[in-house]
Amino acid sequence: MIKSILIAFVASATASVLFNISRRNILWSACTGTIGWSVYQLIITQGKPAVLATFAASLIIGLIGESFAILRKKPATIFILPGIIPLVPGAGMYFTMVALQAQDVSAAASTGIQTAFTALAIACGLVISLSLLRLVRRQQQKNSPGAGGNGKDLTEIPEHPADW
C-alpha cells in the first residue's frame, strides 16, 4: 500500500510538471493526489466498491484542493487537476478498447460501464465538494458584517429600490 501511495505522489507531481505548475506549488499538488489516493486505498481495503472509493477520494481532493487554493492564494485547478490523475480509470478505458477490438462485446460493455461509472464518480465528487465550499463561503459572507458593510450577499437583488 505504501508503494502505491508513493507512486500516486510521483504521478501527481509529474502531472504538475506536465501542466506547467510552478515549482512552489508542485509539492502541494502532489500532496493532494497522495491524500486522495490514500483515501481511495483505505476504502478499497475495507472491501467497499471502487466507484464509492473513487467518489470519496475525489470529494476529498476537491476539498483539499480548494483549501490549498485559499492557503496559497492560487487557483484551485492547479491542486485539483494533478490530484485527480491517480484516480483516472485509464486501464479501464484501455481494456474496453481491447475488448472492442477483439469483438468481445460483453467484456467491452462490462469494463466500459465500470469505467464510465468511475469517471462519473470523479465528476460528482468534485462538483459536490466545490458546491459545498461555495455554500459555506456564501454563508460566511452573509454573516460577516465587515464584508460589504451591511452583511448582505452580493448576489441578492433587493426587492425595493430604496434598499439599493
- In this predicted structure, the answer to whether residue 152 has a pLDDT above a threshold of 60 is no
SS3 67: helix
92 vs 136, which has greater pLDDT? 92
pLDDT number for residue 156: 55
Structural domain for 63, as ranges:
2-87+126-144
Overall pTM surpassing 0.85 (yes/no): no
Kindly state the percentage of the chain with pLDDT values over 70.
88
For residues 90-116, give the mean pLDDT: 95
pLDDT number for residue 158: 56
Distance CA 100, CA 58 (A): 29
pLDDT number for residue 32: 96
SS3 153: coil
- In this predicted structure, the answer to whether residue 151 has a pLDDT above a threshold of 80 is no
Distance CA 122, CA 60 (A): 11
pLDDT number for residue 154: 47
Helix axis angle for 105-143 and 77-84, nearest 10°, is 160
Residue partners of 122: CB distance under 8 A and separation at least 6: 54, 55, 58, 84, 87, 88
SS3 147: coil
End-to-end CA distance of the chain, in Å?
A: 58
How many structural domains are present in the chain? 1
